[in-house]
Structure 1
Amino acid sequence: MDRSSWERAVARRSRIRGCLLGGAIGDALGNPIEFQSLATIEGLHGEKGVTGFVPDFEGMTGRITDDTQMTLFTVEGLIRARATAAASGIGGAEVACTRHAYQRWLETQNYPAPPTRAAANTVRTGWLRTQPFLYARRAPGHACLTGVAQQYTPDPERPLGRPGEVNPQSKGCGTVMRSAPFGLVGAEPQQAFELAAHCAQITHGHPTGYYSAGAFAAIIAHVLEGETTRHAVQQTMALLSAYPGHEETHAALGAAVTLAAAGGPPNARKVETLGGGWVAEEALAIAVYCALAHPDDVAEALLLAVNHSGDSDSTGAVCGNLVGARDGEVGLPASWVVATEGRGVITVLADDLSLQFERTGTGSVDPVHPYDRYPHN
Structure 2
Amino acid sequence: MTEADAKAIIYGVAIGDALGWPIELMKMDKIQIIYGERGIQEPPDPARISDETQTTEAVIKALIDAGDEDVDGIMKALTHHLIEWSQSPENNRAPGHTLTEAVRTMEAGISWRESGLPQKGNGSVVRIAPVGYFFQHDLEKLKQVSIAVGLATHTHPTAVAACVAAAYLVKLGLDEVPVDQFTDRILAITRDMDEEFGGAVRKIGHVMGWTDEMAALNYIGAGWMADEAVAMAMYSVMKHPDNFARAVSRSVNTAGDSDSVGAVAGAVSAAVTGLEGIPPEWINRLENFDRLTELAEKLAKKRLEVFG
Asked if Structure 1 and Structure 2 have the same fold, meaning a TM-score greater than 0.5 normalized by the shorter chain, the answer is yes
Aligned residue among 284, 294, 301 for 1:338: 284
Letter in 1 for 2:181: H
Structure 2 unaligned blocks of 5 or more: none
Letter in 2 for 1:42: Q
1:276 has 2:248 as partner: no
Aligned residue among 196, 203, 209 for 1:248: 196
Shift of 1:214: 1.4
- CA distances 1:222-257 after superposition (whole Å, capped 9, x unpaired): 2222223333442231021133xx111111112124
1:36-47 correspondence to structure 2 within 5 Å: 36-47=26-37
Which stretch shifts more, 341-350 or 175-184?
Answer: 341-350
Letter in 2 for 1:256: I
Letter in 1 for 2:74: E
Aligned residue among 211, 214, 220 for 2:170: 220
Normalised to the residue count of structure 2, the TM-score between the two structures is: 0.93
Contact 2:129 2:170 in 1 (8 A): yes
CA distance, structure 2, for counterparts of residue 273 and residue 236 of structure 1: 19
Contact 1:219 1:233 in 2 (8 A): no
1:51 has 2:57 as partner: no
| Distance change in 2, residues 1:69/1:20 (3 Å) | same
1:105 has 2:105 as partner: no
1:313 has 2:271 as partner: no
| Distance change in 2, residues 1:92/1:53 (3 Å) | closer
Structure 1 unaligned blocks of 5 or more: 1-9, 55-59, 113-134, 156-163, 363-377
CA distance, structure 1, for counterparts of residue 210 and residue 91 of structure 2: 40
Aligned twin of 2:14: 24
Aligned twin of 2:53: 68
| Distance change in 2, residues 1:63/1:264 (3 Å) | same
1:1-377 correspondence to structure 2 within 5 Å: 10=1, 12-54=2-44, 61-82=46-67, 85=69, 92-108=72-88, 112=89, 135-151=90-106, 152-155=110-113, 166-168=116-118, 170-186=119-135, 187-243=137-193, 246-260=194-208, 263-362=209-308
CA distance, structure 1, for counterparts of residue 229 and residue 65 of structure 2: 28
Shift of 1:264: 4.0
CA distance, structure 1, for counterparts of residue 189 and residue 81 of structure 2: 28
3-state secondary structure, aligned to 2:67: helix
Shift of 1:15: 2.1
3-state secondary structure, aligned to 1:93: helix
Contact 2:103 2:115 in 1 (8 A): no
CA distance, structure 2, for counterparts of residue 149 and residue 329 of structure 1: 36
Letter in 2 for 1:234: D
CA distance, structure 1, for counterparts of residue 16 and residue 66 of structure 2: 28
Normalised to the residue count of structure 1, the TM-score between the two structures is: 0.76
CA distance, structure 2, for counterparts of residue 14 and residue 75 of structure 1: 15
Aligned twin of 1:121: none
Root-mean-square deviation over aligned CA pairs? 1.9
Letter in 1 for 2:100: L
Contact 1:99 1:199 in 2 (8 A): no
The higher radius of gyration belongs to 1
Counting matched residue pairs gives: 304
Shift of 1:51: 1.8
Letter in 1 for 2:111: T
Off by >6 Å, runs of 4+ in structure 1: none
CA distance, structure 2, for counterparts of residue 323 and residue 53 of structure 1: 16
